[in-house]
Amino acid sequence: MAQQRASFGSKFGIIMAAAGSAVGLGNIWRFPIETGNNGGAAFLLVYMVAVVLLGVPLMLAEFFIGRYAHTNTAHAYKKLSSHPLWSNIGFIGVLGGSIILCYYVVVAGWVMKYFFLSVDGTLTSLYQPGNAANYESLFGNFVSNPWSPLLYMLVFVLTCHFAIASGVQKGIEKLSKIFMPALFVILVVLVIFSLFAPGAQAGLKFLFYPDFSKLTTSAMLSAISQAFYSLSLCMGCLCTYASYFGKDVNMVRSAVSISVIDALVAVMAGLIIFPAVFSSGIDPQSGPSLAFIALPAAFQSAFESVPIVSYVVSMLFYALLVLAALTSAMSLYEVPTAYIHERWNISRKTATMVVTAVCLLLGTVCSLSMGVLGDMKLFGKNFFDLCDYFTTTWMMPMSGILIAIFVGWVVKREIFINEVTNGGTLRPTGANIMLFLLRWIAPVLVLASFLAVLGVL
Ligand code: PHE
């Protein structure tokens, strides 16, 4: 098996694929929502600290395990320990990554639909000054309709399916090398447009001028879980991708670069969204519907005097979301695909088909839970919210604590340093700093936030 294993073809491809996993709906959709709900700049600050103290070391820990073990996530941990507590960490990733995938494809389907609605001019034509009611009913009718969201989800899932079935280099790497630079270009164009929106200063102030009175414990926790989500941590994606890395990749440098790219995209998304939101007088705390109700209205109103600009801006924005969602979904797809492919020794194409079938089935339940299955609730949540809650509130932090303790304390220090310094050819400073963070900072911070969520602390 090992001799035939897939690999990435270039270092640029590795950064684009891993950054593609990190940069997703989490940066452009979830980050502005969280920032809006938690008071803006102060949240951004804690988020940045969480990225540095938790994000980079945990990303490196996953890279280390993946490249060292050279196999799928579920088996990777077994190569470093036979104790059931540690050897099964990888299964949390396979399970969690698969659950996230099932609701991620639903939102990605909505995003695709909105891209088409912006291209055919519907979003522009529905605009009524000072009133988002049209967008509200558009979105409400769309998500509660049983068929239409399913159709878009199907298109999105099939796109991922063909990308993954094409292989690591020909599918994931090739597409990431095209999509990520395209995404950057769109981002820059949108930031420039947005900064010229009338009244953009209020949005900038909201994003960059911290008001520490808004910094509640729950805001700090949200910042930590946002950092986890946004960097694709602890769900097996980075570990699986690292199993395709070459032995000459500088993993510390890669983890830093990817985290910087991810944070930069989140800030740029904030720079696009908040000026438009403030200049149109919309409440930045409008929650998950922000991207589908408040934003279409905000884009139209911010550029009311030049309708062609609002048309182009909303089209580019949804194109951006589609690209970002695709590269992240591919990384989520790859986790169970690699596992099934190697565990049962079946072809990559067949493994992808199994993942697609499960994803379509559970994705359908997620999608329908926004409408006809809305009354089917567990712990007061519909299936869609339950998948999100269970993975981000429970599985991610739990797996984060385990990974930090495992790499920091259980794995022999020499093994970690040797792998991360590429057999002693790189300077060990970075590896040592990361090991320190993994030992002393990450477990404590994540555990504290986890206990606080449970109301114990
Ligand atoms: N990081 C992705 C995003 O920002 C989401 C994701 C989470 C992907 C966990 C993989 C694993 O949208």
Q: What is the DSSP string of 128-168?
A: BTTB-HHHHHHHHHHHHSSSHHHHHHHHHHHHHHHHHHT-I
Which residues 6+ apart lie within 8 Å of 203 measured at CB? 194, 197, 271, 273, 274, 275, 276, 277, 278, 279
Torsion sign (Cα): 107, 111, 114, 120 = negative
- Closest C-alpha residue for ligand 1 atom 11: 232
- Closest C-alpha residue for ligand 1 atom 7: 232
pLDDT, tens digit (0-9, with 9 covering 90-100), for 137-187 = 999 999 989 899 999 999 999 999 999 999 999 999 999 999 999 999 999
- Closest C-alpha residue for ligand 1 atom 10: 232
Residues 163 and 184: their CA atoms lie apart, in Å, by 21
Q: What is the pLDDT of residue 2?
A: 45
Distance 209 CA to ligand 1 centre (A): 27
- Closest C-alpha residue for ligand 1 atom 4: 26
Residues 418 and 430: their CA atoms lie apart, in Å, by 12
**CB atoms inside a 10 Å sphere around CB 374:** 14
Distance 230 CA to ligand 1 centre (A): 5
Q: Which of 229, 326, 331 to mutate to test the pocket of ligand 1 (most atoms within 8 A of CB)?
A: 229
**323 in Cβ contact with 182 (< 8 Å):** yes
Distance 377 CA to ligand 1 centre (A): 25
At which residue do the structure tokens 């089209």 appear? 315
pLDDT, tens digit (0-9, with 9 covering 90-100), for 48-101 = 999 999 999 999 999 999 999 999 999 999 999 999 999 999 999 999 999 999
Residues 329 and 26: their CA atoms lie apart, in Å, by 11
Residues 371 and 104: their CA atoms lie apart, in Å, by 17
Distance 268 CA to ligand 1 centre (A): 17
Q: Which one-letter DSSP state was computed for residue 378?
A: B
- Closest C-alpha residue for ligand 1 atom 9: 232
Distance 23 CA to ligand 1 centre (A): 7
Residues 3 and 333: their CA atoms lie apart, in Å, by 23
Nearest atom, ligand 1, residue 396 CA: 9
Distance 231 CA to ligand 1 centre (A): 6
Residues 170 and 241: their CA atoms lie apart, in Å, by 14
Distance 399 CA to ligand 1 centre (A): 15
Residues 95 and 77: their CA atoms lie apart, in Å, by 15
Nearest atom, ligand 1, residue 328 CA: 8
Residues 177 and 377: their CA atoms lie apart, in Å, by 41
**431 in Cβ contact with 400 (< 8 Å):** no
Counting residues of the chain whose pLDDT is more than 70, the rounded percentage is 98
Q: What is the pLDDT of residue 349?
A: 96
Residues 364 and 150: their CA atoms lie apart, in Å, by 7
Q: Which of 30, 331, 403 to mutate to test the pocket of ligand 1 (most atoms within 8 A of CB)?
A: 331
Distance 21 CA to ligand 1 centre (A): 6
Distance 124 CA to ligand 1 centre (A): 30
What is the phi/psi pair of residue 372, to 5°? -60, -30
Distance 273 CA to ligand 1 centre (A): 20
Closest CA to 435 of 405, 456, 457, 455: 405
User: How far is C-alpha 193 from the chain's CA centre?
Assistant: 25
**CB atoms inside a 10 Å sphere around CB 147:** 9
Residues 153 and 110: their CA atoms lie apart, in Å, by 8
What distances in angstroms separate CA 341 from CA 101, 168, 221, 236, 338, one per listed residue? 18, 13, 37, 15, 5
pTM over 0.85: yes
**251 in Cβ contact with 60 (< 8 Å):** yes
Q: Which of 101, 172, 232, 240 to mutate to test the pocket of ligand 1 (most atoms within 8 A of CB)?
A: 232
- Closest C-alpha residue for ligand 1 atom 6: 232
Residues 242 and 440: their CA atoms lie apart, in Å, by 24
Distance 324 CA to ligand 1 centre (A): 10
Contacts 24+ apart (CB under 8 A), 382-391: 384/103, 384/106, 387/99, 387/100, 387/102, 387/103, 387/362, 388/100, 388/103, 390/99, 391/96, 391/99, 391/100, 391/235
Query: Mean pLDDT in runs of 10 for the chain (457 residues)?
Result: 77 97 94 87 94 97 98 97 96 96 96 96 89 87 93 98 97 97 95 86 89 83 91 97 97 98 95 84 71 86 86 94 97 98 96 98 95 84 90 92 97 98 97 98 91 76
Query: Which residues contact ligand 1 via a Cβ below 6 A?
Result: 21-22, 24-27, 97, 100, 229-230, 232, 235, 237, 328, 331-332
Which residues 6+ apart lie within 8 Å of 324 measured at CB? 23, 24, 25, 27, 28, 183, 265
Q: Which one-letter DSSP state was computed for residue 29?
A: I
Distance 266 CA to ligand 1 centre (A): 13
Q: Which of 107, 160, 230 to mutate to test the pocket of ligand 1 (most atoms within 8 A of CB)?
A: 230
Q: What is the pLDDT of residue 287?
A: 64
What is the phi/psi pair of residue 345, to 5°? 55, 40
How crowded is the C-beta side of 262, counted as CA atoms within 13 Å? 37
Nearest atom, ligand 1, residue 23 CA: 4
